[in-house]
A and B are shown apart, each in its own frame.
Chain A
């Protein structure tokens, strides 16, 4: 049986994208340490925000600040951490409905063990000290009161 052949392959798309008025505002907000959602015509707030209403496709424009605290809607445990993710330690992955938002967002849960996680628990954002307008400016969520 021959050995499996190996070759390095760098797959890349060297394009520049414009993030637009909604995603761009959200990412700029992250750089400033705030989380933005967007209001739908029915008054509910989507976070993360989308440019168009997911049901009616109507353009959405009214950005509102949400969080930084929220409620854990669902979680799993990631061990080992995935090699390309922003996290190098075992961590939780969760869906967090931020205060003021009606939809949950997916992000990391920074705790030492899955025993610390439960649906319905209060969590709050932990920010990186250096931020550049990227989803990973938000380091993840920690249990409320655990120190940001």
Chain B
């Protein structure tokens, strides 16, 4: 296996980018990520993006966004209709194959023009679930009640997770929901938005984008003083139908963490892309995170959930902690689908 590292990250996130197109959003982000390591597009061996044409409401909309990269003269390029974390995975595979030493990965999402909790109904199977248009908060509430009833989690614990996000996000300029003063009592006092879930249990929807530069071996060492070496990366999936799964668990997250070697050593920090407090609780258990790991110091996805980019943003946040020397072993997580159906785990280390 080749040694591959995240050498540069850049991101932007706001509550709603009403007057900004995806291209306008991505130009400065991509320029910042490449520029920070002195690269231009000519120096990039492979480019891969993650976004949703369905969310953008236009077939092949991701092709337009290539204008933010610069695709003339022609570049080697690919796209996944998934969170950008899976674009990073494809780029990692491409770098493993060899022949190139650098890759640019980016993703973005702009869900503010619609109601994301309703749009997400369209990710459900088209026969049994989709035609009922159960919104994302209601579905998460079904899981939450099962967790509460079975004693898997308590309302107190969910509120603590919400507070961790709100407080952590207070120092994160990219967060769209934060509160330095929030506490368990203030969260528990919120009226349910989808009984038993409260507003602070549900991720704050955001628009934004993220770009990451990967490099292999000595090229990474040239470009970055402290590369975030990808020591393990894996993604797994569980069945779609909610009835066939134990909703208090996410076996695919556990499997991905094991395959990525998450538990092989102490993790300084973990950034989780859980869109609900209930799912953040499940992930902590499935990924085996202990009290010596700082979980979602940024506020995590709860503080700002950019559809299609929340996972790559978590990996970027985790990698940045290594770049800045604040951590030496970190985990970035991405999720997709209903009830954490699909999970990706990326473990990174400094040298």
Q: What residues of chain A have their CB less than 8 Å away from a CB belonging to chain B?
A: 2, 4, 9, 11, 17, 19, 23, 26-27, 46-48, 50, 54-55, 73-78, 82-86, 93-95, 97, 103-108, 114, 119, 134-136
Contact = CB atoms under 8 A, between A and B. Distances in A.
B71 interface: no
Nearest to B192: A77
Contacts of A82: 118, 121, 133-135
Nearest to A94: B142
13 contacts: A11-B54, A48-B127, A48-B243, A50-B241, A54-B245, A76-B145, A77-B194, A78-B138, A82-B135, A93-B138, A95-B242, A95-B243, A106-B132
Contacts of A134: 131
Residue among A74, A76, A82, A105 with the most chain B CB within 10 A?
Answer: A76
Interface of B: 18-19, 54, 57, 118, 121, 126-129, 131-135, 138-139, 141-143, 145-146, 149, 194-197, 239, 241-245
Contacts of B197: 76
A71 B88 CA distance: 44
A135 B121 CA distance: 15
- 10 pairs of A and B residues whose beta carbons are closest in the complex: A76-B141, A103-B243, A54-B239, A85-B133, A54-B244, A74-B145, A84-B133, A74-B142, A48-B128, A104-B243
A74 to B, nearest CB: 4
Contact of A85 (B54, B132, B149, B195): B132
Nearest to A23: B127
A17 B127 CA distance: 11
A75 B142 CA distance: 5
Contact of A76 (B132, B195, B243): B195
B127 A19 contact: yes
Contact of A74 (B126, B133, B146): B146
Contact of A135 (B54, B57, B131, B138): B131
Given A54-B241, A54-B244, A82-B133, A76 B18 contact: no
B131 A86 contact: yes
Nearest to A135: B131
B142 A106 contact: yes
B118 A95 contact: no
Contacts of B57: 9, 11
A105 B219 CA distance: 53
A39 to B, nearest CB: 14
Given A4-B18, A94-B142, A105-B128, A50 B244 contact: yes
